[in-house]
């Protein structure tokens, strides 16, 4: 089988700091904070009243009104990011639609629709439930709608692995191209779980920060005074192609997806393995499949949730993998600015990592004020770092012990 490389020719994202790729990236480079009091629903009586909401989002930028009415918010966000990515990729036509696929992950899917329809069931009985309830709620519908939009008839499905979903989608799309099954893949993640049930559930398990009096400083990964993650929403989408396919059509190449690692903790439903074996394994596999060594990596976009265990264990795993070189690797968590996007996190952070390599600007970890002796790496505190880097990793770890690390390479 011919040697194939997977390159990135299009990117899109919707986040709490911007409704498109450029505005989000400019805000992230500047350390802008998108965490604020929630406005989509009444938070009276909730333990937490803030999050990383996408602000002033209009689905009609990517869908007509009829389509938007039949799509849950997570699908609307996915479509908006996909349109950005495909516009950037500028694919005019497909030689073979069966060699073009879509894989979009979501950890939860249509939770807004579920809440709304359950309320109608309680108020009006079975007849009150919409006939569109199931297709609007199911997690695979984002990939389905995007494939319909662009006529991609290849592999089409959704990865569901909690906070690793978006990363798993990109790794799976990489496989489709490397194995020769596809030339083009639209891949990423979308999540819209900033809703009452999700917020209440997370809060009752004491996972989120409770800094209701100062939400802008709530997400503080690796800081000694961190007290929990911040729930966010959004979408990140990439267009991946075989290098030869991209070159043949004269596409602009923004970066390379060089390889990945996927592991399981086999440890606990919600807590990461205290010895960091899953994180160690996923990073080690990513380096091995990419064919690079530790000294070639200059940046890691960390999972960095701002929870006590995750940040400590991830930092220790990075040091385990990189040894003395860990002191020379720049690390940051962009969740400090946009919150934790659950199933979309890995995809959005993959886009951010690619932009960091492309522009030579490593985004900051904001709200970093008090160093934690158990987190002893360089976390790009509060300001972006200007540095050209050849290779970078992006980590995503999810409930259930799901781990994925993506390795990206610069194409300048």
Q: What is the CATH number of the domain that holds 387?
A: 3.40.47.10
pLDDT band (50, 70, 90) for residue 218: very high
Name which of 286, 303, 302 is nearest 294 in CA terms: 286
| Structure-block tokens of residue 174 | 């990489």
For the segment 103-117, the average pLDDT, to the nearest whole number, is: 96
Residues 363 and 229 in one domain: no
Tens of pLDDT, residue by residue over 2-26, are: 568 999 999 999 999 999 999 999 9
Edge-to-edge strand list for the sheet holding 255-264:
156-157, 100-105, 184-191, 234-242, 6-14, 255-264, 402-409, 391-398, 297-301, 330-332
For the segment 81-106, the average pLDDT, to the nearest whole number, is: 97
Residues 301 and 232 in one domain: no
Residues 288 and 323 in one domain: yes
Boundary-marking domain end, from 248, 270, 294: 248
Q: What is the pLDDT of residue 4?
A: 87
Q: What is the pLDDT of residue 180?
A: 96
Residues 238 and 311 in one domain: no
Is 49 within a domain? yes
Boundary-marking domain end, from 195, 217, 248: 248
pLDDT band (50, 70, 90) for residue 412: confident
Q: What is the pLDDT of residue 1?
A: 41
pTM above 0.85, yes or no: yes
Residues 81 and 219 in one domain: yes
Is 254 within a domain? no
Residues 180 and 287 in one domain: no
Is 380 within a domain? yes
Q: What is the pLDDT of residue 3?
A: 67
Is 222 within a domain? yes
Is 296 within a domain? yes
Residues 311 and 405 in one domain: yes
Q: What is the pLDDT of residue 46?
A: 96
Tens of pLDDT, residue by residue over 121-138, are: 999 999 999 999 999 999
Residues 266 and 200 in one domain: no
Tens of pLDDT, residue by residue over 156-206, are: 999 999 999 999 999 999 999 999 999 999 999 999 999 999 999 999 999
Residues 302 and 354 in one domain: yes
What mean pLDDT is reported for the chain?
97
Is 253 within a domain? no
With a pLDDT cut of 90, the percent of the chain lying above it is 97
Is 1 within a domain? no
Domain count, the chain: 2
Residues 402 and 269 in one domain: yes
pLDDT band (50, 70, 90) for residue 375: very high
Residues 360 and 270 in one domain: yes
What's the domain range around 119?
A: 6-248
Is 185 within a domain? yes
Catalytic residue numbers read 163, 303, 340
Q: What is the pLDDT of residue 270?
A: 86
Residues 244 and 324 in one domain: no
Tens of pLDDT, residue by residue over 275-314, are: 999 999 999 999 999 999 999 999 999 999 999 999 999 9
pLDDT band (50, 70, 90) for residue 210: very high
Q: Would you say 294 and 323 are in contact if contact means Cβ atoms under 8 Å apart?
A: yes
Boundary-marking domain end, from 214, 248, 282: 248
């Amino acid at each position: 089988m011919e040697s194939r490389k997977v390159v990135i020719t299009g990117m899109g994202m919707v986040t709490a700091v911007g409704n498109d790729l450029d505005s989000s990236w400019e805000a992230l480079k500047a350390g802008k904070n998108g965490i604020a009091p929630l406005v989509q629903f009444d938070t009276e009586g909730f333990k937490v009243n803030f999050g990383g909401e996408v602000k002033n989002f209009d689905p009609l930028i990517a869908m007509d009104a009829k389509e938007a009415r039949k799509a849950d918010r997570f699908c609307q966000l996915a479509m908006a990011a996909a349109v950005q990515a495909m516009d950037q990729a500028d694919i005019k036509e497909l030689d073979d639609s069966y060699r073009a696929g879509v894989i979009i992950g979501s950890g939860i899917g249509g939770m807004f629709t579920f809440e709304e329809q359950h309320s109608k069931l309680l108020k009006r009985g079975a007849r009150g439930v919409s006939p569109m309830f199931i297709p609007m709620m199911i997690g695979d519908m984002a990939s389905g709608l995007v494939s319909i939009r662009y006529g991609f008839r290849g592999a089409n499905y959704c990865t569901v692995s909690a906070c690793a979903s978006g990363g798993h989608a990109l790794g799976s799309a990489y496989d489709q191209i490397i194995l020769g099954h596809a030339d083009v893949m639209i891949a990423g993640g979308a999540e819209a779980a900033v809703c009452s049930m999700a917020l209440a559930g997370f809060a009752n398990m004491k996972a989120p920060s409770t800094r209701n009096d100062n939400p802008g400083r709530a997400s503080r990964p690796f800081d000694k005074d961190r007290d929990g993650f911040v729930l966010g929403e959004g979408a990140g989408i990439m267009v991946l192609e075989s290098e030869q396919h991209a070159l043949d059509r004269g596409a602009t190449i923004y970066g390379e997806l060089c390889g990945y690692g996927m592991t399981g903790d086999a440890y606990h439903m919600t807590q990461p393995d205290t010895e960091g074996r899953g994180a160690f394994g996923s990073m080690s596999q990513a380096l091995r499949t990419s064919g690079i060594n530790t000294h070639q990596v200059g940046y890691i976009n960390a999972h960095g949730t701002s929870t006590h265990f995750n940040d400590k264990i991830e930092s220790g795993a990075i040091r385990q993998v990189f040894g003395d070189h860990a002191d020379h690797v720049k690390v940051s968590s962009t969740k400090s600015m946009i919150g934790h996007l659950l199933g979309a996190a890995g995809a959005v952070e993959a886009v951010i990592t690619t932009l960091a390599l492309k522009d030579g600007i490593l985004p900051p970890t904001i709200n970093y004020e008090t160093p934690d002796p158990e987190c002893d790496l360089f976390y790009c505190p509060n300001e972006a770092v200007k540095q050209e880097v050849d290779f970078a990793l992006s980590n995503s770890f999810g409930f259930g012990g799901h781990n994925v690390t993506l390795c990206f390479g610069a194409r300048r």
